[in-house]
Amino acid sequence: MEGNFAGKENRSEMIEKVIRTHADMIYRIAYQNTGNYDDAEDILQEVSIALITKNAPLHDEEYLKRWLVRVTVNKCRDMHRHRKRLKTEPLEEHTDKAAETKSEIWEELFSLPEKYRIVLYLYYYENFTIKDIALTLKKSVNTVSSDLQRARKKLKILITEEEDRDENKQTDKSDGSRKGTA
Protein backbone atom coordinates (compact mmCIF):
# COMPACT_ATOMS: atom_id res chain seq x y z
CA MET A 1 0.00 0.00 0.00
CA GLU A 2 1.10 3.48 -0.73
CA GLY A 3 2.07 6.02 1.83
CA ASN A 4 1.61 6.09 5.54
CA PHE A 5 -1.11 8.50 6.50
CA ALA A 6 -0.97 7.81 10.16
CA GLY A 7 2.02 10.03 10.83
CA LYS A 8 2.17 13.37 12.55
CA GLU A 9 0.96 15.36 9.58
CA ASN A 10 -1.84 17.73 10.25
CA ARG A 11 -5.28 16.85 9.06
CA SER A 12 -5.32 19.00 5.93
CA GLU A 13 -2.05 17.56 4.72
CA MET A 14 -3.28 14.10 5.42
CA ILE A 15 -6.47 14.64 3.46
CA GLU A 16 -4.56 16.10 0.55
CA LYS A 17 -2.09 13.25 0.58
CA VAL A 18 -4.83 10.64 0.61
CA ILE A 19 -6.58 12.26 -2.33
CA ARG A 20 -3.44 12.72 -4.38
CA THR A 21 -2.30 9.20 -3.70
CA HIS A 22 -5.56 7.59 -4.66
CA ALA A 23 -6.85 10.04 -7.24
CA ASP A 24 -5.81 7.92 -10.19
CA MET A 25 -7.42 4.83 -8.75
CA ILE A 26 -10.69 6.63 -8.06
CA TYR A 27 -10.62 8.25 -11.45
CA ARG A 28 -9.97 4.96 -13.25
CA ILE A 29 -12.72 3.16 -11.41
CA ALA A 30 -15.08 6.00 -12.16
CA TYR A 31 -14.05 6.10 -15.80
CA GLN A 32 -14.28 2.39 -16.37
CA ASN A 33 -17.68 2.53 -14.75
CA THR A 34 -19.15 5.60 -16.40
CA GLY A 35 -17.17 5.69 -19.63
CA ASN A 36 -17.04 9.42 -19.35
CA TYR A 37 -14.14 11.61 -18.26
CA ASP A 38 -16.28 14.43 -17.00
CA ASP A 39 -18.29 12.09 -14.86
CA ALA A 40 -15.10 10.54 -13.59
CA GLU A 41 -13.90 13.97 -12.51
CA ASP A 42 -17.18 14.66 -10.78
CA ILE A 43 -16.99 11.39 -8.96
CA LEU A 44 -13.43 12.05 -7.91
CA GLN A 45 -14.63 15.23 -6.34
CA GLU A 46 -17.62 13.58 -4.71
CA VAL A 47 -15.47 10.87 -3.22
CA SER A 48 -13.00 13.44 -1.94
CA ILE A 49 -15.78 15.26 -0.16
CA ALA A 50 -17.08 11.98 1.18
CA LEU A 51 -13.69 11.46 2.77
CA ILE A 52 -14.62 14.29 5.05
CA THR A 53 -18.34 14.02 5.43
CA LYS A 54 -18.39 10.28 5.92
CA ASN A 55 -15.55 10.03 8.36
CA ALA A 56 -13.32 7.98 6.15
CA PRO A 57 -10.85 5.75 7.95
CA LEU A 58 -7.87 7.98 7.15
CA HIS A 59 -5.54 6.22 9.53
CA ASP A 60 -6.21 2.71 8.39
CA GLU A 61 -4.51 2.48 5.04
CA GLU A 62 -5.67 -0.95 4.07
CA TYR A 63 -9.26 -0.31 4.96
CA LEU A 64 -9.08 3.16 3.45
CA LYS A 65 -8.28 1.78 0.02
CA ARG A 66 -11.16 -0.65 0.14
CA TRP A 67 -13.38 2.10 1.45
CA LEU A 68 -12.46 4.36 -1.44
CA VAL A 69 -13.14 1.66 -3.99
CA ARG A 70 -16.49 0.96 -2.51
CA VAL A 71 -17.49 4.60 -2.20
CA THR A 72 -16.42 5.23 -5.78
CA VAL A 73 -18.44 2.30 -7.07
CA ASN A 74 -21.48 3.45 -5.15
CA LYS A 75 -21.10 7.00 -6.36
CA CYS A 76 -21.04 5.66 -9.90
CA ARG A 77 -24.24 3.77 -9.24
CA ASP A 78 -25.82 6.89 -7.87
CA MET A 79 -24.88 8.64 -11.04
CA HIS A 80 -26.29 5.91 -13.24
CA ARG A 81 -29.46 5.96 -11.33
CA HIS A 82 -29.66 9.68 -11.64
CA ARG A 83 -29.02 9.52 -15.36
CA LYS A 84 -31.73 7.01 -15.92
CA ARG A 85 -34.22 9.62 -14.96
CA LEU A 86 -32.80 12.39 -17.02
CA LYS A 87 -31.62 11.73 -20.49
CA THR A 88 -28.42 13.57 -21.18
CA GLU A 89 -26.07 13.50 -24.06
CA PRO A 90 -22.41 13.30 -23.10
CA LEU A 91 -20.25 15.69 -25.01
CA GLU A 92 -17.12 13.74 -24.40
CA GLU A 93 -16.83 12.22 -27.84
CA HIS A 94 -15.95 15.59 -29.21
CA THR A 95 -12.99 16.18 -26.98
CA ASP A 96 -9.42 15.41 -27.86
CA LYS A 97 -8.91 13.80 -24.51
CA ALA A 98 -11.47 11.15 -25.34
CA ALA A 99 -9.99 10.44 -28.71
CA GLU A 100 -6.54 9.93 -27.24
CA THR A 101 -7.30 7.21 -24.79
CA LYS A 102 -10.55 5.67 -25.92
CA SER A 103 -8.85 2.77 -27.57
CA GLU A 104 -10.26 -0.45 -28.89
CA ILE A 105 -9.37 -2.05 -25.62
CA TRP A 106 -11.57 0.33 -23.74
CA GLU A 107 -14.32 -0.21 -26.21
CA GLU A 108 -14.11 -3.91 -25.59
CA LEU A 109 -13.97 -3.28 -21.90
CA PHE A 110 -17.04 -1.12 -22.03
CA SER A 111 -18.86 -3.91 -23.81
CA LEU A 112 -18.66 -5.87 -20.57
CA PRO A 113 -21.16 -5.40 -17.76
CA GLU A 114 -19.97 -3.06 -15.06
CA LYS A 115 -19.63 -5.78 -12.45
CA TYR A 116 -17.04 -7.51 -14.62
CA ARG A 117 -15.11 -4.33 -15.29
CA ILE A 118 -14.61 -3.47 -11.67
CA VAL A 119 -13.53 -7.00 -10.82
CA LEU A 120 -11.05 -7.01 -13.69
CA TYR A 121 -9.67 -3.68 -12.67
CA LEU A 122 -9.21 -4.56 -9.04
CA TYR A 123 -7.72 -7.93 -9.81
CA TYR A 124 -5.38 -7.04 -12.61
CA TYR A 125 -4.50 -3.48 -11.91
CA GLU A 126 -4.78 -3.00 -8.17
CA ASN A 127 -3.58 -6.51 -7.39
CA PHE A 128 -6.50 -7.22 -5.10
CA THR A 129 -6.97 -10.84 -4.22
CA ILE A 130 -10.34 -12.40 -4.89
CA LYS A 131 -11.00 -12.35 -1.19
CA ASP A 132 -10.17 -8.66 -1.00
CA ILE A 133 -12.46 -7.92 -3.92
CA ALA A 134 -15.25 -9.87 -2.29
CA LEU A 135 -14.73 -7.96 0.93
CA THR A 136 -14.62 -4.62 -0.81
CA LEU A 137 -17.62 -5.11 -3.03
CA LYS A 138 -19.52 -7.01 -0.38
CA LYS A 139 -19.98 -10.00 -2.59
CA SER A 140 -19.26 -13.63 -1.91
CA VAL A 141 -15.92 -15.06 -2.93
CA ASN A 142 -17.67 -17.45 -5.27
CA THR A 143 -19.50 -14.65 -7.00
CA VAL A 144 -16.31 -12.71 -7.50
CA SER A 145 -14.53 -15.80 -8.81
CA SER A 146 -17.23 -16.53 -11.32
CA ASP A 147 -17.42 -12.89 -12.36
CA LEU A 148 -13.70 -12.86 -12.88
CA GLN A 149 -13.78 -16.10 -14.80
CA ARG A 150 -16.51 -14.88 -17.11
CA ALA A 151 -14.78 -11.57 -17.62
CA ARG A 152 -11.56 -13.34 -18.45
CA LYS A 153 -13.25 -15.49 -21.03
CA LYS A 154 -14.67 -12.48 -22.74
CA LEU A 155 -11.46 -10.55 -22.69
CA LYS A 156 -9.13 -13.46 -23.07
CA ILE A 157 -7.05 -11.92 -25.79
CA LEU A 158 -6.50 -8.72 -23.91
CA ILE A 159 -5.38 -10.19 -20.67
CA THR A 160 -3.36 -13.14 -21.81
CA GLU A 161 -1.27 -12.05 -24.75
CA GLU A 162 1.37 -9.96 -23.06
CA GLU A 163 1.01 -11.72 -19.78
CA ASP A 164 2.02 -14.93 -21.52
CA ARG A 165 4.84 -13.15 -23.23
CA ASP A 166 5.90 -11.81 -19.90
CA GLU A 167 5.72 -15.24 -18.37
CA ASN A 168 7.65 -16.68 -21.30
CA LYS A 169 10.40 -14.18 -20.67
CA GLN A 170 10.54 -15.19 -17.06
CA THR A 171 10.54 -18.85 -18.03
CA ASP A 172 13.38 -18.22 -20.46
CA LYS A 173 15.31 -16.43 -17.76
CA SER A 174 14.81 -19.14 -15.22
CA ASP A 175 15.66 -21.78 -17.79
CA GLY A 176 18.83 -19.87 -18.59
CA SER A 177 19.79 -19.59 -14.98
CA ARG A 178 19.11 -23.27 -14.47
CA LYS A 179 21.33 -24.04 -17.46
CA GLY A 180 23.99 -21.76 -16.00
CA THR A 181 23.99 -23.50 -12.70
CA ALA A 182 23.98 -26.86 -14.40
Partner 1 sequence: MKINKLTKAMEAVKAPHDAVDKAVKAALEADKRRKQPKLITGQKIRRFVSVAAACAVLAAGITAGQVYHQNKNSDITGNNADTGSNSHSFSLLVNAAEITEDEKIGLSEIDFTGVNSLGMNAYSSKQKLTNETIETVTPEGEIWNRPVHVFRMQYRLYPVVEIPIVCKGNGIKSVTYKVNGAYLKANRKLKLLSEGTEEGPHEVDYYDLVDLYTEKNRDTKYDPNESLEALMNGLTDYSYDYDHDEWEKEWKLREAIRDPDDKRTLEEKLKERYYYTYKSMTVSYEEQLKCVEVDEKDLVPYGRKTYDPAQEKEIRGSVAAIALLPSFSPELAKDELTKEAQEYMEGIPSGGSYGKFIEGKEHTDYWEALFNAYRSQIENVSLEVTVHFDDGTDEGYILELIPGERKNYSYYDRYDNRIKVQTIMIDVVVRKKNDQ
User: Which among 1, 33, 17 is positioned nearest to 119, based on CA atoms?
Assistant: 33
- Report the residue number, 61 or 126, with the smaller CB distance to partner 1: 126
Kindly give, in sequence order, each residue whose CB lies less than 8 Å from that of residue 122, ignoring residues fewer than 6 positions away. 69, 128, 132, 133, 136
- Report the residue number, 100 or 180, with the smaller CB distance to partner 1: 100
- Report the residue number, 12 or 181, with the smaller CB distance to partner 1: 12
* Contacting positions for partner 1 (CB under 8 A): 11-12, 15-16, 19-20, 23-24, 26-28, 31-32, 40-41, 44-45, 47-54, 70-71, 74-75, 77-78, 80-89, 91, 101, 103, 105-106, 109, 113, 120-121, 124-125, 127, 138, 155, 157-163, 166
DSSP line for 128-142: --HHHHHHHHT--HH
Q: Residue 76: what residue type?
A: C
- Report the residue number, 45 or 181, with the smaller CB distance to partner 1: 45
User: Which among 76, 64, 63 is positioned nearest to 29, based on CA atoms?
Assistant: 76
Q: How far is the CB of 57 from partner 1 (least distance, A)?
A: 12
